[in-house]
Each structure stands twice: as structure tokens, then as C-alpha cells.
Structure 1
Amino acid sequence: MTTSYAVLLRGINVGGRRKVPMAALREVLGGLGHDDVRTHLQSGNAVFRSAQGDERTLRAGIEAALLERFGFEVGCVVRDAAYLRAVVDACPFDADALEGRQLHVTYVSEPVDPERFAGLDAAAYLPDEFRLGDRAVYLYAPDGVGRSKLAVVLGRPALFPGSVATSRNWNTVVKLVELTHG
């Protein structure tokens, strides 16, 4: 039996550095034995079907293959279709009333530690808000993430020690659900 997954690559194709062409990403995933490989946008989103292992095993294999192919490390988050749907269903904000650029999800490879966020003065960043989920952080930024001071704070690696964390806007979050369920 195969399962649909999404792999989210962190920090590629930004400012002309760490280039990972999507055609090459599809080749890497196909070369690992995954089926029905498709990419979405140029920012490192791919979906595939696999009967191989769990999310951690898949992640390790993909990261190793990317290092071998491109010569640099690429952190990844792998999530199955059910998890991606659960993230959408658990959204603490009224996603239907917002523009896709106003809502973001940071997918985290390991469980989010609420203690890491305890000292964050959320009121200082209003009207931007965040909520913690299961291996996810939701960010509402009414003026967009590019103007959000809270987005900068939530992007600090110290909040996610030993984890890969990578963010996607709500449009991409929803599209990944469609691609893994379609």
C-alpha cells in the first residue's frame, strides 16, 4: 500500500543561491523509488506516493539524496496527506475570511516546545498573532509576512532546536492538501 506525502524543502532557490531546480527534485524523488512525483512552485514543494517507511525515514533518505546531488545540505519536512489535512482542519484562524498572504504555517520536523514561546510578548506584535499546533505554528499577519515583525521572531532557529522549520503561505498549505488527496 502506498501513502501520499509532501516534502517541503527549507531555504532553497532564494536570492539565486542554493538552487534546486524542480525538475531535478522530481528526478531525485523518483530515483529514490517514489511514484507520482509532482512539484508545486519553485520554492521546494513536492508531493509523491511511497510504500517506503515513515516520515523520518523518508526525510533522511531525501536529505541524503539532495546532499549527494547538489553538494549542500537541504533540510526537509515530510508529512503525509492525513497530517496536511489535519493542519488545515485545526487552523485556529478564520482562513475562509483571510487572504492567503495573511496566513502562514511553519511546519516543524519535531514537536513544538511551548516553553520556547513562553517569553514571547505576543501583545507587542499585534495585530499579528500566532498559535501553536502539532508540529506546526500558525501565523496571522494581516499586512503580509513581509511586513511582520512577528514573522521575523518566529523564524529564529532557537525556537526550534534540533528541528527543521519551514513556512508556507495558506494558498500553498491548501494546494498541498489538494495535491496529496487528488
Structure 2
Amino acid sequence: MTSYIALLRAVNVGGTGKLPMGELKAMCEAAGFADVRTYIASGNVVFGSRLAEKAVKKALEQRLQDYAGKPVGVVVRTAAEMAAVLAGNPFPQAAGNRVVAIFLDAPPPPGALQEATGLNGERLALGQREIYVHYGEGMADSRLKIPAAKAGTARNMNTIAKLAGMAAGKPAG
């Protein structure tokens, strides 16, 4: 059985896409996923499945659409991939809440960083299927726009570390 992390896009953030984590857990269990655990109320779920990544994504997206009445984006990573995202952080000296990985379904295009606009001190780097952003003084006043990241979903390094640990079998505490 493979340990997966699913990251939902635009759930319980800024008043949009309300989804109780108990409902998300129930959807995952109904899809046949095992040992389902959620982490914070922003659409993070860790579970096991014998299905391939694309089948996991499809099953969860279908259940979410049935629930919400509209498409809800889902990005899926294995435990090993999430650990690699954490280990690949190009800004390891920065505070974990100031660095995000924007998770994408496919590798970012080579020119993704050159297309970014509104930079004001942020530092960017490409990952395998992620774009890393170090927000320096914080996200609150950032005007950064990355067209290649539009369909992605971001998590900060603190959350990524917690999810990687949960997927590796460590308690969420």
C-alpha cells in the first residue's frame, strides 16, 4: 500500500470552499483509502491506497465535486515525494512559514520563473512538480503573480514537514 498526501486547492481559505475535515475524511474512507488523517482545516489529508496516483486523484476529485457541486482541485504526492519536496527546499535557512512550495500536477515549464510579475524581494526556484517561493518579509503585502502556478496549491514548509512526517508514520502532534 502506498502512503499518499492529497492537497486540496482553495479549501477553507479566505472564506471560500468550506469543507469540514470530518467530511473530507469520510469521503476518503468511502473511496476505500486506509488510515485516513487530516491536518489543519485547509484541505490536507494523509492516507494509504493500493491505487495509482492518477486513480487516487480522480476518485477524490469526483467525490469532492459531488459534495461541492463544482470542481475542487486536488494535488497528490506520495510520502517519498513529499519528503523530497521538504529536502529539496532551496531556502533552508529561511523560516518555515516564509517559504512555500506551490504544488503542481506536472513539472513547471522552463520559463515559469521569468513569467512571474510583481516581485518585491521574493526569491523563486523550480522543483520537480513544484515552484518554491521565499517571501522574505512575509506574504501579506506580496503582489507576486506566477502564471504557471495558477492551478497549483501552496503549503508552507512547516505544513510540508508535518505532512511528510504523518505520511512516514509519525504522529501529527
Normalising by structure 1, what TM-score? 0.86
The one-letter code sitting in structure 1 at the alignment partner of 2:80 is: A
Question: Cα distance, 1:104 vs. partner?
Answer: 0.7
Give ranges in structure 1 of 5+ residues lacking alignment: none
The alignment yields a C-alpha RMSD, in angstroms, of 1.7
Which residue matches 2:155?
168
CA-CA distance at 1:170 after TM superposition: 1.1
Map Cα deviations across residues 92-118 of structure 1 (whole Å, 9 max, x no partner): 112xx3222211110101111022333
* 1:106/1:166 contact within 8 Å kept: yes
- Give the distance between the partners of 2:17 and 2:122, measured in 1 at CA: 30
Q: Answer whether contact 2:113 2:125 (CA < 8 A) is retained.
A: no
Deviates more, 1:79-88 or 1:139-148: 139-148
Identity %: 34
1:109–1:135 Cα contact (<8 Å) kept: yes
Paired residue for 1:62?
60
Structure 2: 5+ residue stretches without partners: none
Distance 1:32 1:3 in 2: 15
**Match of 2:73?**
75
Q: CA deviation at 1:126?
A: 4.6
Aligned residues, how many? 169
Cα 1:42–1:119 change in 2 (3 A) is closer
Of residues 148, 163, 170, the one that matches 1:159 is 148
- Please state how far the C-alpha of 1:4 moved relative to its aligned partner: 0.6
State the one-letter code of the partner of 2:101: V
1:135 pairs with one of 102, 126, 129: 129
Q: Which has the higher helix share?
A: 1
1:70 Cα shift?
2.5
